[in-house]
Amino acid sequence: MVKILIAEDSNVDAKYIESILSDKEYNLVFAKDGEEAENLLKQEKFDLVILDVVMPKKNGFQICREIKKNDETKDIPVILVTSKSEDADKFWGKMQGADEYIIKPFEPIDLLVAIKKCLKK
């Protein structure tokens, strides 16, 4: 079963993502902030990480960069899901190593397509 870490500080957004993925064959693990996500990544193995960018303690850009710099986690695909919609934000996300960048609000299909693309790599 595919194990996905979802780091999202908004309960509403976390529930939305969960509602999209709950009927799929995914094991979902949630983190409320960047530090919790970072700790979970050290303790468990994940097949995919979905990160909000604007979170307390550590933001999604920082976590993404750390994932991609670490030899043990660098091959884990990362999807950034954020309200930061400027071209510069998207560019910065890609520079941090993000495999996909989704702007909130988004349709369920946007997330499902991004996940499918990431898991095929």
Per the CB < 8 A criterion, the answer to whether 73 and 44 are in contact is no
Tell me the pLDDT tens digit for each residue of 10-59. 999 999 999 999 888 899 999 999 999 999 999 999 999 999 999 999 99
Number of domains in the chain: 1
Q: Would you mind telling me the total number of residues written for the chain in this entry?
A: 121
CATH code for position 114? 3.40.50.2300
Global pTM reads 0.95
Task: Give the mean pLDDT of the chain.
Answer: 95
Task: Give the rounded distance of the alpha carbon of 91 from its chain centre.
Answer: 16
Its domain, for residue 62, covers: 2-120
Mean pLDDT of the region 70-93: 95
Confidence (pLDDT) at 121: 64
Mean pLDDT of the region 61-82: 96
Q: Rounded to a whole number, what is the distance in angstroms from the first to the last CA of the chain?
A: 17
CA dihedral sign, ordered 39, 119, 68, 87: negative
- Give the max Cα distance, the chain: 35
